[in-house]
């Protein structure tokens, strides 16, 4: 008998009918002699609606209260699914993140799982129950509820799979797997049969929201095979695993894009040791992740420092950058929230000549100006105007001929 962890995303449980569809799928998996643990997201746009409500009653909602509020979305869907399963004659029980033993650090809205005590889960599995765990949440040392960041139910699922030493984790969603680009933007995008953890991590970190980056990271760390598949059809999905063949190398696997980006430039900075550290240490202390960083060559010991952050971090980041810029003697600071990222991802591409040139040529043919460039061993990212991002994704998909199966 295999143990599988299945995760169903918000659009898969968006209505009572869809919850019953999911319940039938789970019963099917159970009938195929599997033990099943299920993780659910909140129904449809519930999390956004709860956030909106919080912002209506407060300009800066308390982080602690906000996490409790947002966690309720997953409690609603998990309890409804357990009821639905029982109505089909299955034995099922719902658990909150805390009841499932998920312990996190104290960072509200972006908590990291520190450990999982699977005692209760194991007890319920042993009793023959299908266990439904509310995704995206845990509990900190103070026994306060925390949430794992948007899209975090994927992380709950992979973390539970690791903790229970499950045979695999299935991420069941509203598309048939991981595609060469977001299929909602590129109609010719092709479903990948498999992807390596590393390339999937870059894809999701750089915007492919079909998987939460930390879920991929955990999958890699604990060697959990992850199947991304549709909640609505019985297609084969995309298997994310570590054993990708050599043939898959030195090729672009996919295009990722991210619209949740803002750019900050600190202008006229004295070029001396410690300047970058002053700014980035303060941002890090506030829990703000900085991505692409570019420092211009200095002229007469004066330089500009540009970096990108998530758009929703722009307000708090500027609160930090303003005094920091003054402290380091910078002339000015500017921000731009109308930017986005487009990335090509593929194992080994940075070391192979031609990929960067092809990317830049494809963008220039569309009349798209590149503001910043960053690279990793398996990724090249360009920061461009937000309004151009979708055109850029389509142009790059064409330029690298991703609609055709890669030879």
Our finding on whether 173 is near ligand ADP (CB under 6 A) is yes
Question: Helix crossing, 355-365 with 389-399: angle to 10°?
Answer: 130
> What are the two backbone dihedrals, phi and then psi, of residue 329, each rounded to the nearest 5 degrees?
80, 25
**Nearest Cα to Cα of residue 378 among 239, 240, 258, 256:** 256
**Cα–Cα dist 267/306, whole Å:** 8
136 binds ligand ASP (CB under 6 A): yes
- Taking CB under 6 A as the criterion, the residue among 64, 86, 112, 150 binding ligand ASP is 150
* 249 within 8 A of 347, measured Cβ to Cβ: yes
Q: Does 104 bind ligand ADP (CB under 6 A)?
A: no
**Inter-residue contact 242 to 180 (CB < 8 Å):** no
Per-residue binder mask for ligand ADP (CB under 6 A), 38-57, x = binder: ---x----------------
The binder of 152, among Mg ion, ligand ADP, ligand ASP, none, by C-beta within 5 to 8 A per type, is ligand ASP
Nearer to ligand ASP, 118 or 151 (CB): 151
Does residue 238 touch ligand ASP according to CB under 6 A?
A: no
Q: Site map for ligand ADP, 10-39, x if CB under 6 A?
A: xxx---------------------------
Residues whose CB is less than 8 angstroms from the CB of residue 62 and which lie 6 or more positions away in sequence, other chains included:
none
Indicate the DSSP class of residue 352: S
Strands (DSSP E) found in 249-397: 254-270, 293-295, 302-310, 332-345, 372-376, 379-385
Give the residue at shortest CB distance from ligand ADP: 9
Say how far apart CA 214 and CA 212 lie, in whole Å.
6
- Decide which of ligand ADP, ligand ASP, Mg ion, none touches 138; Cβ closer than 5 to 8 Å per partner kind: none
Looking at 5, 6, 8, 10, which residue binds ligand ASP (CB under 6 A)? 10
> How far apart (Å, rounded) are the C-alpha atoms in residues 75 and 78?
5
Least gap, CB of 263 to ligand ASP (angstroms): 24
The only residue of 153, 253, 265, 381 in contact with ligand ASP, by rule CB under 6 A: 153
Q: Give the residue from 95, 168, 80, 171 showing the smallest Cα distance to 133.
A: 95
Q: For 225-342, where are the alpha helices, taking DSSP H only? A: 275-285, 314-328
Q: How far is CA 3 from the centre of its chain?
A: 25
> Strand 254-270 to strand 238-241: parallel, antiparallel, or no bridges (unpaired)?
unpaired
Mark the segment that binds Mg ion (CB under 5 A) among 63-71, 92-100, 150-158, 395-403: 150-158
Examine residue 9 and tell whether it contacts ligand ADP (CB under 6 A).
yes
Sites for ligand ADP among residues 213-272 (CB under 6 A) = 254
Choose one: 146-154, 194-202, 276-284, 353-361; the region binding ligand ASP (CB under 6 A): 146-154
Residue 211: strand, helix, or coil: coil
Instruction: Pick from 97, 152, 196, 340 the residue near ligand ASP by CB under 6 A.
Output: 152
182 contributes a contact to ligand ADP by CB under 6 A: yes
How is residue 145 written in tokens?
A: 């509820």
Instruction: Name 315's Cβ contacts closer than 8 Å, sequence gap at least 6.
Output: none
- The H or E element containing residue 42 is none
Q: What x/- string results for residues 139 through 168 when contact with ligand ADP is judged by CB under 6 A?
A: ------------x-----------------
Q: Which of 151, 196, 219, 346 binds Mg ion (CB under 5 A)?
A: 151
Residue from 81, 164, 178, 344 touching ligand ADP (CB under 6 A): that is 178
The C-alpha atoms of residue 107 and residue 10 are separated, in whole angstroms, by 23
391 binds ligand ADP (CB under 6 A): no
73 touches Mg ion (CB under 5 A): no
Binding track over 12-31 against ligand ASP, x by CB under 6 A: --------------------
Task: Enumerate residues 6+ apart whose C-beta is below 8 A from 190.
Answer: 179, 180, 402, 403, 404, 405
Which residues of the chain form contacts with ligand ASP (CB under 6 A)?
9-10, 41-42, 47, 73, 135-136, 150-153
Which residues of the chain form contacts with ligand ADP (CB under 6 A)?
9-12, 41, 151, 173-175, 178-179, 181-184, 208-210, 254
């Amino acid at each position: 008998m295999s143990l599988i962890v299945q995760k169903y995303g918000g659009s898969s449980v968006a209505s009572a009918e869809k919850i019953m569809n999911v319940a039938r799928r789970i019963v099917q998996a159970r009938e195929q002699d599997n033990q099943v643990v299920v993780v659910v997201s909140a129904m449809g746009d519930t999390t956004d609606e709860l956030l909106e409500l919080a912002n209506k009653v407060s300009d800066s909602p308390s982080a602690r209260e906000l996490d409790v509020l947002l966690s309720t979305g997953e409690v609603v869907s998990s309890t409804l699914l357990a009821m639905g399963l029982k109505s089909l004659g299955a034995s099922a029980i719902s658990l909150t993140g805390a009841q499932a033993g998920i312990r996190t650090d104290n960072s509200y809205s972006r908590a990291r799982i520190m450990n999982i005590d699977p005692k209760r889960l194991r007890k319920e599995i042993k009793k023959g129950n299908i266990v439904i765990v509310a995704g995206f949440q845990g509990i900190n040392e103070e026994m306060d509820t925390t949430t794992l960041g948007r899209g975090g139910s994927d992380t709950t699922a992979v973390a539970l799979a690791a903790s229970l030493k499950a045979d695999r984790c299935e991420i069941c969603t509203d598309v048939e797997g991981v595609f060469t680009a977001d299929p909602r933007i590129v109609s010719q995008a092709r479903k990948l049969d498999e992807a390596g953890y590393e390339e999937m991590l870059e894809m999701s970190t750089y915007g492919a929201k079909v998987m939460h980056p930390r879920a991929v990271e955990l999958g890699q760390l604990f060697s959990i095979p992850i199947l991304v598949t549709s909640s609505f059809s019985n297609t084969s999905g995309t298997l994310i695993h570590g054993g990708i063949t050599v043939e898959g190398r030195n090729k672009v696997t996919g295009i990722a894009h991210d619209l949740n980006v803002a750019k900050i430039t600190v202008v006229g900075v004295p070029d001396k040791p410690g300047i970058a550290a002053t700014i980035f240490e303060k941002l890090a202390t506030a829990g703000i992740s900085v991505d692409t960083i570019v420092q211009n060559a200095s002229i007469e010991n004066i330089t500009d420092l540009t970096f990108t952050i998530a758009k929703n971090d722009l307000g708090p980041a500027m609160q930090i950058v303003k005094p920091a810029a003054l402290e380091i003697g910078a002339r000015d600071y500017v921000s731009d929230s109308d930017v986005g990222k487009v990335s090509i991802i593929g194992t080994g591409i940075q070391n192979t000549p031609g990929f960067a040139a092809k990317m830049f040529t494809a963008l220039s043919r569309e009349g798209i100006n590149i503001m910043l460039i960053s690279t990793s061993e398996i990724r090249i990212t360009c920061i461009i105007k937000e309004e151009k991002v979708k055109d850029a994704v389509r142009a790059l998909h064409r330029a690298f001929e991703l609609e055709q199966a890669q030879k």
